Amino acid sequence: MTQYESHIADAQRNGDMTATDESVSARTSPRRGTATWFAVAGELLGSFLVCFAIFVAYAFGTPLYGTNLAFIAIATAAAYVLVSMTFRSFSRVQLNPAVTLASVLTSKTHVLDGILYVVAQLLGAVAAAAAFRSLLPVSKTLTRKLWLTYAVNGFDKGSVSYSSLNGAGATFGIAVAIAVEIVASLIIVSASIASTDAEGVPTSRHAMHMGIAYGLGAAITFPVTGAALNPARATGIALFAEHQGLSVEPLSQLWVFWIAPVLAAAVVSLVLVAKEIFSDNAAVSSLSASVADDGYEADKTDATEQTVEQTEEVRYADDADEPTASVQDANAEVQHQQTDAQGDSNESVKTD
């Protein structure tokens, strides 16, 4: 029994319901202590590191070495794995507003804590984008546009594949962009929820699960949207890539990279909540059936005991009747002997 449970038990034995209520309130209310702020700090710093690493890998690697999906996937996976492993001991390392939303909807994270996490994630992503832009090497012939093209997220004319597809008269439109971002976000959110416990704390497998999920998501989405996968990451770079001569202003398409992951988070949460409801109903039905079976067995046992009692009563009655018959027989024998004796006496008198 935990210290909390012992306190509740003592309070109930002593009749101190006020103490019990206060303990329950303390147990269920969101913590605002040092641990909470460490977790928020972990989200902020973790978001900064992940986003900065992705911005640098995408913006420098692609123009210099060409588009390589294996490199993109490995770089994305490595960023999330290393950050998750580093901050797991004191943070939830959700690092993604969509993941936080799903954790809140499934009651793994308190609403107020979730809001703090999302704010921290956005601030970390914005700080990473600001640092990244300030470090870009530029000249009269080498502008920020070249670097930012592969770091921002977009579709249609804003897609990283636009120049390649435009020659063939095709583009990755909004429908394709939403579809791939939703699928990738479903994978990421599902992996996150599956690798955390009931209170949202990451398990030992969490970092690896998230690395695989983000790596796969990057491979799916990079040719279409530049692999947003994370609303905070998309927002941070969009703010600092605005008015930099890109084909499309990133802020005008940013809504897609919020709607898709939020929708994915809602779908995953709905499935999990429905599963819990069905599991609870199945448990109640099983309990009801068990109670009914126990009632049937109890009735059957009572009927058997009643039958046994009736049989015993009949047996006792028979045993009680047997002595009565024996006494009657004895009395008859005595009367018979008395009659014989009287007869013999009469014979003797006549003879005399």
Residue 157 DSSP class = G
pLDDT for the residue numbered 298: 61
Q: How far apart are CA 340 and CA 129, in angstroms?
A: 134
Q: Do the domain assignments include residue 213?
A: yes
Q: Do the domain assignments include residue 317?
A: no
pLDDT for the residue numbered 124: 97
Query: What angle, rounded to 10 degrees, do the helices at 206-225 and 174-194 form?
Result: 180
Coil, strand, or helix at residue 89?
coil
Q: Do the domain assignments include residue 323?
A: no
Cα-based torsion angle of the residue sequence 152, 157, 161, 163 in order, rounded to the nearest 10 degrees: -120
Backbone angles phi, psi at 45, to 5 degrees: -70, -40
pLDDT for the residue numbered 169: 83
pLDDT for the residue numbered 210: 96
Contact 104, 193 (CB under 8 A): no
Contact 105, 269 (CB under 8 A): yes
Task: Supply the pTM of this predicted model.
Answer: 0.73
Q: How far apart are CA 26 and CA 20, in angstroms?
A: 10
Say which residue the tokens 């930099």 belong to: 244
Domain residue limits at 274: 33-284
DSSP-H helix ranges across the chain: 3-13, 17-28, 34-65, 69-87, 97-105, 111-135, 144-148, 162-166, 174-194, 206-225, 231-241, 250-253, 256-351
What is the per-residue pLDDT across 311-346, written as a single tens digit (0 to 9) for each? Answer: 666 565 555 555 555 556 656 665 666 666 566 555
Q: Do the domain assignments include residue 253?
A: yes
pLDDT for the residue numbered 276: 84
Residue 142 DSSP class = S
What is the per-residue pLDDT across 33-62, written as a single tens digit (0 to 9) for each? Answer: 888 999 999 999 999 999 999 999 999 988
pLDDT over threshold 50, residue 294: yes
Mean pLDDT computed over 112-134: 97
Q: How far apart are CA 81 and CA 88, in angstroms?
A: 10
Q: Do the domain assignments include residue 4?
A: no
Q: Which residues of 293-318 are buried (b: 16+ CB within 10 A; e: fewer)?
A: eeeeeeeeeeeeeeeeeeeeeeeeee
pLDDT for the residue numbered 7: 47
End-to-end CA distance of the chain: 107
Per the structure, how many domains does the chain have? 1
Contacts of 131 (CB under 8 A, 6+ apart): 48, 52
pLDDT for the residue numbered 278: 82
Among 138-147, 174-183, 187-196, 212-221, which is the least confidently predicted range?
138-147
Q: Do the domain assignments include residue 209?
A: yes
Mean pLDDT computed over 275-293: 72
Q: Do the domain assignments include residue 336?
A: no
More confident residue, 16 or 155: 155
More confident residue, 314 or 279: 279
The fraction of the chain above a pLDDT of 70, given in percent, is: 71
Mean pLDDT computed over 86-104: 94
pLDDT for the residue numbered 263: 97
Q: Do the domain assignments include residue 131?
A: yes
Short-list 195, 225, 221, CA closest to 209: 195
Mean pLDDT computed over 102-111: 94
Residue 234, domain CATH? 1.20.1080.10
What is the per-residue pLDDT across 132-161, written as a single tens digit (0 to 9) for each? Answer: 999 999 888 888 898 999 999 999 999 988
What is the per-residue pLDDT across 205-260, written as a single tens digit (0 to 9) for each? Answer: 999 999 999 999 999 999 999 999 999 999 999 999 999 889 899 999 999 999 99
